[in-house]
Copies of this chain bind each other. A is one copy, B any other.
């Protein structure tokens, strides 16, 4: 329970050698005779010496640490991404410092700034809100940085990135509903200014157009309480009826949480999914398998996105050149979507 930590010099004093000899012995420098090397190592153990990584970092200017910014750690999507990050970070001997942005640019920048001060070796930002105008101040200090699913309207080309193809995902979702015979297909989105919502809406529109289906304004429901950003579940729950009265028989939801909210609303209204209404989600979080019926959804390879981004960052740290990557989502068909039949006589 020694309060003061033991240093390399303490060991040197006890061993009657210089502190550099201790340093060498501990690092298996071949110059040190095997005998004293073992003696010193033994002594270090007895004195329960713990090397000071701070001092090492100051010298090497490497902290073996990467910073990760997510909007919330309790969000199952990011939790999964972070899991992927953590796996490859750990296996490469890197520690992960976690910060949350809560979808707020100010907090995001503060987090990144903090990482810069701490001299992390690299930074990963999920759902970044950083656009071109902010990049200047942030790139002054050259820390390898990768954006995962950047949400900025005008994303800077300065940072590297890995992202999901939102438009493709949306098209897969809508094409799936079309293939089931649905012709009145709605989009249930979220009202933050996120790029992914825009892109999914676009993909939805493109798919409708390609299928020769009409585009009705009332078939698109977006929760526009920008500020109080309610939970995705309650967004889905509240907005469902709007689409229902517009007469859709199939709905593509912004994500699984929104779909779950819609599902809940259906249960309250006595609407049977998928008999009366087909629902398609996005993300493929674990939860989507456990609701009743299980959600048909567009899966993002969350774990892979994390591990891939981390691998990219590793390359970047080693001055390798890396290429930005757009990953393709894929449809997983489950119980919430079914062939359209006109139940309403």
Contacts and interface: CB of A to CB of B under 8 A. Distances in A.
A168 to B, nearest CB: 25
A17 interface: no
A79 B73 contact: yes
A140 to B, nearest CB: 4
A97 B65 contact: yes
Nearest to A110: B90
Contact of A117 (B53, B72, B139, B142): B53
A291 to B, nearest CB: 6
Nearest to A65: B97
A98 B98 contact: yes
Contacts of A215: none
B100 A98 contact: no
B48 A54 contact: no
B142 A1 contact: yes
B58 A55 contact: yes
Nearest to A68: B98
Contacts of A100: 83, 86, 90
Nearest to A263: B290
Nearest to A260: B290
A140 B72 contact: no
Interface string A267-302: 100000000000000000011001110000000000
A200 to B, nearest CB: 22
Contacts of A260: 290
A83 B79 CA distance: 11
Contacts of A286: 287
Interface in A71-118: 72-74, 76, 79-80, 82-83, 86, 90, 95-100, 113-114, 116-118
Given A90-B100, A98-B96, A290-B264, A141 B82 contact: no
A141 B264 contact: no
A88 to B, nearest CB: 12
A206 interface: no
A150 interface: no
B5 A141 contact: yes
A57 interface: yes
B48 A3 contact: no
B54 A63 contact: yes
A80 B5 CA distance: 34
A2 B140 contact: yes
Interface string A23-53: 0000000000000000000000000101111
A54 B121 CA distance: 12
A2 B114 contact: no
Contacts of A55: 58
22 contacts: A50-B117, A52-B117, A54-B57, A54-B58, A54-B118, A73-B73, A73-B86, A74-B76, A74-B80, A79-B79, A86-B98, A86-B99, A95-B114, A97-B97, A260-B290, A287-B287, A287-B290, A290-B290, A290-B291, A291-B291, A291-B292, A292-B292
Interface of A: 1-3, 5, 48, 50-55, 57-58, 63, 65, 72-74, 76, 79-80, 82-83, 86, 90, 95-100, 113-114, 116-119, 137, 139-142, 233, 260, 264, 267, 286-287, 290-292
| 4 closest residue pairs by CB, A with B | A292-B292, A48-B140, A74-B83, A53-B117
